[in-house]
Every structure is written in structure tokens, then in C-alpha cells.
Amino acid sequence: MTTALLPRLLACLLVLACCTAHAATPRLWKATHAVEGHGTTTLYVLAATPAGLPVEFDAYYTRAVLPALRASATLSVEGVGDGDEGPATPGCDLRQLDEQGIAMLNDARQRVLTLALQADMARREALDVKALAKVLDPDTQAQSWARLIEMSDEFTLLQFARTQAASLAPPSDHQGGNVAEALVRARPDIPVHDIDYRTGMMQAYCAAGPRRTMMLLDVADSVPQDATAAAHAVPRLARDFDALLHGRAPSDGSPLARLAPLDAGLVCARNRDWIARMRKVADGRTHFYVVPVRNLFAARHDDADCGGLLADLEQAGFTVAPVK
């Protein structure tokens, strides 16, 4: 190799390294739909996890996600509670549970009680002496938790379990928590709406089949035993997140795959609700949606058969493309 070629080769290597450093698996999609008399409506759809993984706050977040948020007029996430009234639902019918589902429900009540007692103990340890003197004694509090959990319906029990699990989770490396919470803080001026109908998540849970109580057990078992276990779980979850974004199956037992038997309700039914509402958005403005990653791609297996939300948007007349 001549010395004259060396500078050019080094320059090419630097360009290649730069491009590689900035390369990231797209997890944000831009869906556009032109409607006569209303102009072009744009929906940004971001794949997310509930965990707030470090990868969700990488250079792609700064370069692609935040600018899309700044260009948006509204932000839609899970759990805000201001959703429109959806189709009437009587709630979950216990008769739909099979024998295994009933056994899971009984097991879940015991595990959620244990979770509540652990969370209560953690809160007590954080109180000072004066505050501790004003709270119920542990036995009385335990009896109260037991009565509450026994009287709660499935979906109320699920919400309660999530609250207790969140209070026991080790602190995140990211002050922003999960990406939806971080985006809300990044644009304090933006109107934030619920991606679901007001009872949408309950409908999805109730429609998840005779083993839907798997979800209750999954929440009760989701709290890592300690910070070390939580730290070890993050790289695996990041790999599984990337696998889904590339159209591959996550690893066996992954939190992003454990509830696949419930996809009929948690993915297919929710996506039908979401696309019915999204296709009505035709105001010529830009809107941002944060969506669980599993809902974006097809769920086709023994327990479910539906396309993902991205394919649904295309079928609804949107032009969908990843944001590089």
C-alpha cells in the first residue's frame, strides 16, 4: 500500500465508523395520511417497554424521538385515564376462566398479598419515628390488605399489584423512568391523552382468554429480588427488545414474550380499538403515540392471529415508514 493511499483509507474508515456509531435500529415510525380538505395528518408511533431501558434513551432518542415529539401537537400514552368512552363492557366474567385460570387467580391473590406486605414493610422502613407512630400496626394492616385483595375483582387486583410492584422496583439508572414518562416531562406544554378507551385496558384483559390470570402472576413475580438481579435483567431485556424490532422472537421466558398466550386480548383486541380511533384522526396536525413494542408487530401463533399496529395503519390508508 502506498503512503499516498493511506490518508484516503483512513478518511473512509472514519466515515464508516461515524456512520456505524450513529446507526440504530429504528423504533419510531412516521405514518402519514392525506385527507381532502384537511391536509396531511402525521402520526408518530414509538415502540417502548415499561422498563425504561438504557437503549431507549440513546443517541436515537435524542436525534429522532425528541424532534418528532417537538413537532407533535398531542402525546398519547397508556394509563392517563382520560380516554373516550368505549363499547360498554360488564367487566370480566369468572365463568370464562378454565380450571387452570381459576387456580392461577387463587394463587395470584396470595402472591399479591405477599407483595403488598413487602411494599408496606419497605414504606415503614422509610418512615421516621414520629410518622411510624401514626400508621396502623403490621397485623392490622395485613388484615386490611387481605380483605381488600379478597374483595377486589381481577382487573382492580391487577392495577393494585402493579402499584405495589412499582414501589418495590429498584431505582432506575434513568431519572426519567420509562420513555413515556420521560416524554411527558420533555414537553410539559403538550396535551397528554390516554391511548386506550377509558375501559380499554380492562376490556383487553377480560378478552385475553381463559388463562388471563397469567398476567396477574406475571406482575406479582416481576419485582427483582435485589438491585443485582435487576442489573442482570437489563441486558437481556435490551436484547429481546432489539429482537422484536428486527422481527425475531425474544428469548424463552422473556418478559416481552411470557404473556404471548394472552395476545388475542392484549395485542389483537387492543390494536383493533387503537386503529379504529387512529383512522379517525384527520386534522392535518402531527400526533405522537407511545405503544408497547409487542403491539406493533404481527401476533400469529396458536393463541392469536393478527397483524401488528404498523400493518393496520397501512391497511387504513396511512403511508408508514421508519424514522432513520
Q: Give the three cell numbers for residue 10.
A: 483512513
pLDDT(284) > 50: yes
Report pLDDT for 126: 75
Q: Give the three cell numbers for residue 155.
A: 382487573
Report pLDDT for 318: 97
Beta bridge partners of 43: 31, 287
Tell me the one-letter amino acid at 8.
R
Supply the mean pLDDT for the chain.
86
Mean per-residue pLDDT for 84-100?
79
Contacts of 153 by beta carbon, 8 Å cutoff, 6+ apart: 91, 92
For cell 406475571, the residue is 218
Contacts of 51 by beta carbon, 8 Å cutoff, 6+ apart: 178, 234, 237, 255
SS3 (DSSP) at 81: coil
Q: Where are the domains of the chain?
A: 26-322
| Lowest mean per-residue pLDDT among 2-16, 151-165, 187-201, 248-262 | 2-16
SS3 (DSSP) at 118: helix
Report pLDDT for 123: 81
Q: Look at strands 192-194 and 74-77 and give their pairing.
A: parallel
Most confident of 3-7, 109-113, 226-230: 109-113
Q: Give the model confidence (pLDDT) of 143-188 as tens digits.
A: 999 999 999 999 999 999 998 988 887 665 555 579 999 999 999 9
Report pLDDT for 11: 45
Confidence of residue 130 (pLDDT cuts 50, 70, 90): low
In terms of Cα–Cα distance, which of 321, 294, 286 is closest to 67?
A: 286
pLDDT(112) > 80: yes
Q: Give the model confidence (pLDDT) of 13-58 as tens digits.
A: 444 444 434 457 899 999 999 988 889 999 999 999 988 899 999 9
CA distance 242 to 56: 11
Q: Give the three cell numbers for residue 213.
A: 390470570
Return the percentage of the chain with pLDDT > 90, whole number.
Answer: 60
30, 323 Cβ separation under 8 angstroms:
yes
Q: Give the model confidence (pLDDT) of 199-248 as tens digits.
A: 888 888 988 889 999 999 999 888 776 666 666 788 999 999 999 999 89
SS3 (DSSP) at 249: coil
| Lowest mean per-residue pLDDT among 163-172, 190-199, 302-311 | 163-172
* 116 vs 135, more confident: 116
Report pLDDT for 166: 83
pLDDT(9) > 60: no
SS3 (DSSP) at 24: coil
Q: What are phi and psi of 280, to 5 degrees?
A: -85, -10
Whole-Å CA distances, 286 to 30, 41, 71: 10, 6, 7
Sign, CA torsion 81/87/90/95: negative
In terms of Cα–Cα distance, which of 259, 250, 276 is closest to 209?
A: 259
187, 242 Cβ separation under 8 angstroms:
no
Q: Give the ranges where the chain is alpha helix by DSSP (H).
A: 5-22, 59-60, 66-70, 99-126, 129-132, 138-151, 154-168, 179-186, 200-206, 214-220, 227-245, 263, 270-278, 309-315
CA distance 187 to 48: 18
Report pLDDT for 174: 52
Report pLDDT for 197: 84
| Lowest mean per-residue pLDDT among 79-83, 107-111, 168-172, 179-183 | 168-172
| Residue 221 DSSP symbol | T
Report pLDDT for 121: 86
Contacts of 230 by beta carbon, 8 Å cutoff, 6+ apart: 169, 170, 224
**Predicted structure pTM score:** 0.84
Q: What angle do CA 146, 152, 158 make, to 5 degrees?
A: 100
pLDDT(81) > 90: no
